[in-house]
Amino acid sequence: MNLSFFDQFMSPYLLGIPLILISLLFPALLLPSPHNRWITNRISTLQSWFIFTITKQLMTPLNKKGHKWALILSSLMIFLLSINLLGLLPYTFTPTTQLSMNLALAFPLWLATLLTGLRNQPSASLGHLLPEGTPTPLIPALIMIETTSLLIRPLALGVRLTANLTAGHLLIQLISTATAVLFSIMPAISILTACVLLLLTILEVAVAMIQAYVFVLLLSLYLQENI
């Protein structure tokens, strides 16, 4: 029984072919197709407003050099948001519960921000490893600590997204199982558990949106340090 709770996090297969690629491409099918007119309908207007709001929120702390990343960060935000929300539907698979995928997103983008800083301003980028005014005996230890904290950033990005979504899905499955089991034994407790499940589902919708925003926001902060 305990193993069945984690079956939802296994990548589905069909005839030996992993379907995770289809689940990654499916959110793109929900977006309105482009049109030769500026505004076609209310969905397109809402989509344009949403993308503009996200881009403005992410690009405000950055200077003009960082605005080149607007398309990448905005696309990543919409991609993660769509996958996280679609993963809350019944009988669906959430690719962002896979640590390997989250690390595959976090590591290249983090490395790109780091290399951008080393190329444009190497002295300032390396200066983050040693705070100003550090006593001489503490310099080797602080350099090792700051280097370690720098290198674990992509790991922290991937683990944070994976852990939050995995915990939420497990809680929803546990409480929904308890609701179904208690319905025939203690209907009153089952109704109370169903109310808790409804509140938890609303909370998980908020968590899915917040975690997508936090993932991209931290990347933009890493970019801000290196430009």
Is 14 a member of any domain?
Answer: no
Cα angle 139, 142, 146 (rounded to 5 degrees) comes to: 140
- pLDDT tens digits, residue range 71-122? 889 889 888 998 898 888 887 788 888 888 899 999 999 999 989 888 888 7
Is residue 177's pLDDT more than 80? Answer: yes
Is 21 a member of any domain?
Answer: no
List the domain range (segments joined by +) for residue 212: 42-130+137-226
Structural domain count of the chain = 1
Cα angle 116, 122, 128 (rounded to 5 degrees) comes to: 95
- pLDDT tens digits, residue range 181-220? 888 888 888 899 999 999 999 999 999 999 999 999 999 9
**pTM given for the model:** 0.82
Instruction: Give, to the nearest 10 degrees, the angle between helix 139-151 and helix 153-182.
Output: 50
Is 154 a member of any domain?
Answer: yes
Is 12 a member of any domain?
Answer: no
- pLDDT tens digits, residue range 6-43? 666 677 777 667 677 777 777 777 766 666 665 567 77
Is 26 a member of any domain?
Answer: no
Is 144 a member of any domain?
Answer: yes
Residues 6+ positions from 141 with CB-CB distance below 8 Å: none
- pLDDT tens digits, residue range 36-68? 665 567 777 787 888 888 888 888 888 888 888
Is 189 a member of any domain?
Answer: yes
Residues 6+ positions from 34 with CB-CB distance below 8 Å: none
pLDDT of residue 39: 57
Residue listed under structure tokens 């076609």: 40
Is 16 a member of any domain?
Answer: no
